[in-house]
Structure 1
Amino acid sequence: MGDNAVSTPARGLSGRESFAQRLLAGSVKKSYDPVVDLDWDAPLDPDKLFLPPEVISLFGTPLWDAMTPEQRRELSRQELANVLSVGIWFENLLNRLLLRELMAGDPTSRHAHYTLTEMGDECRHMMMFGKLIDRIEARPYWPNRFERWTISALQQLLRGSMVWVGALVGEEIFDALQRRTLDDPQLQPLVARAMRIHVTEEARHIGFARDALAHRAPSMSKAETLYTRLCVAVAAPLFVYLMTNWHIYVRAGIEDGRAARRMARANPHSRRALGLGAANLGAYLDEQGLMGPIGKRVWRRRGLL
């Protein structure tokens, strides 16, 4: 009787457990192993970009207009390497946070089992990102000493509701951008395939984080709500900072990388792309009462609302 209750998906599960059970079932039906599900030996197309033009940070600027097709392709290669590097940092941090959450959870619960499933997905994503950086013959953009210290400190700062807010900020904005570019004919086929794998599995991760946050938000104390709102406000400039690393432009052959970064951050096309990516997340956080007036002001200033 007890064994059947554990192995049979379940009548009588709570809403949170029932949702986790559905995610587990979805993971069984559609998950990927990037080692075998991507053709790593396929040649790269010498004429295709590594990111679609509209999500490249300098798209539409005078600097972009003056670039040759080869220079644009190289900039797209460097920006992809940076995005993938940031993804590796983030998913490394997220797995550490999820592992800590498991220490206080019930290891027999569906919620714990899906947490472990997600961690496995994220490990495969980190490997996929690393292999893709290597395949496009780029170098990773690794954090400097201060950034490493900040990432380590986040393990202590992101607790409770902020585990799930952090997960959503890291996953949802980039996921929305990916979805807009999956079928772009200018994109390298290998990159498009990797993005499709990531989008498919991240959809479950986003749903899991949203569900966890929705269950926690109504019972949060005033202090936790205020702290979460402050962290939400800080998350916006941090995200923009990480996406516009000045070293990208230097490696792409632009002499003044810092000037190029300033142009990228002021670029209305880039801000519009980020805003479209962040729109659903901003609305969701506002619905949960976690997007305070300071957060709205900061997100608007950074082009995320």
Structure 2
Amino acid sequence: MTLVDDVTGAGVAGADSASGGSDALAQRLLRSTARQSYDPEVDLDWSAPPVPGLWWMQPERISLYGTPMWKGLSEEQRITLSKHEVASIASVGIWFEIVLMQILLRDAYSADPRSARTQFVLTEVGDETRHTVMFGRAIDAMGVPAYGPRPMPRRLARLGPLTLRGASAYAGILIGEEPVDRWQREAMRDERIQPLTRMVARIHVTEEARHVTFARDELEKAVRGLGRAKLRWHQAMTAQVAYVTMRSLVHPEVYAAVGLDPAEARRQALGNESYRETIAWMGEKVMPVLEANGLVAERDHKVWRGSLLMR
């Protein structure tokens, strides 16, 4: 059994908490961290040149795949677009990880540093720090911009560490981690894709599996005993996080890199059935978890459909 299988299987979050413990789960995750973690500085060959003719992400997952604009691009332009689009996703990952680290550090601020749970929270912050550096170096190696989110989502996210607490905090963490995790699991096995993208995905998938396990357990505990008003607040916040996060993955300026009008390209992408299916596919693991924990309210379905995670 691989580490990823082991950790993902462990997630079955309720088992440890039901038998007494956050610390029992945290201790197991700490042991998993000790068994296998990566140092991107030494585990990636940053000097290796790109392989000519390979994609930077799965072509079928590119936002414009199959649209009239896509059909008008040459093969070289399509590969170039794949590089800019994966760089956009990676730079949004950096943005998200920085917000996540603030949430986790706030969690640890008043917690008992002797507990395994606190130690795993801080260990996760260390993992995420390495991931953000890895994503930044990968974008630099590609020679493209670090697009990040557009200005409005960036401003809104400043409120995240202040407003996301308990259930909505860990639901938000899962929304940021699980859809990209599914996309990366597919990418890391695809031999059409550049080795750099595949190895970055493999490192991230391996270490994020522990984080997903922890967040699922925290979410399950956080929703217990919530009154109607508090649950409603967390439902609304979770839906907004989903909308902002998923709509931010591809910055419109990536399309300008291949000579396309950003506004028209974004319009075609958001209306593209292939891309809408991709985002829904990315969310197939996280949506049942959120629904099972009561965080997907019918009154928020319009927002959820706007996020493309719900059809």
Tell me the residue number matched to 2:123: 117
Verify: 1:86 aligned to 2:92, yes or no.
yes
Give the corresponding residue for 1:241: 247
Offset at residue 185 of structure 1 (A): 1.8
Write out aligned runs for 1:1-305 (5 A).
Answer: 14-143=20-149, 145-254=151-260, 256-305=261-310
**Counterpart in 2 of 1:3?**
none
Aligned mates of 1:104, 1:279 — CA distance in 2: 35
TM-score, length of structure 1 as denominator length: 0.92
Shift of 1:265: 0.5
Runs of 5+ unmatched residues, structure 1: 1-12
Aligned positions, number: 292
Q: CA deviation at 1:156?
A: 1.2
- When structure 1 is superposed on structure 2, of 228-237 and 44-53 the one drifting more is 228-237
Matched residue, 2:9: none
How far the C-alpha of 1:215 sits from its partner, in A, is 1.2
Amino acid in structure 1 at the alignment position of 2:287 = G
Is the partner of 2:268 in helix, strand or coil?
Answer: helix
Distance 1:114 1:41, change over 3 A: same
Unaligned ranges ≥5, structure 2? 1-18
SS in 1 for 2:285: helix
CA deviation string 1:204-238 (max 9, x = no partner): 10110000111111122322210111112212321
Question: Could you tell me whether the CA contact under 8 Å between 1:78 and 1:252 is conserved in 2?
Answer: no
The percent identity for this pair of structures is 39
How far off is 1:302 after superposition? Answer: 4.0
Q: Is the 8 A contact 2:89 2:250 kept in 1?
A: no
Pair 173,142 (structure 1): closer, same or farther in 2 beyond 3 Å: closer
SS of the equivalent of 1:60 reads coil
Q: How many angstroms apart in 2 are the aligned matches of 1:60 and 1:148?
A: 30
SS of 1:243's partner is coil
Q: Secondary structure at the match of 2:96?
A: helix
Q: Which AA in structure 2 matches 1:241?
A: R
Aligned counterparts of 2:199 and 2:53: Cα–Cα separation in 1? 17
**TM-score, normalization: structure 2?**
0.90
Conservation of the 8 A alpha-carbon contact between 2:23 and 2:115: yes
Q: Report the Cα distance in structure 1 between the residues aligned to 2:134 and 2:306, rounded to whole angstroms.
A: 34
Structure number with greater Rg is 1
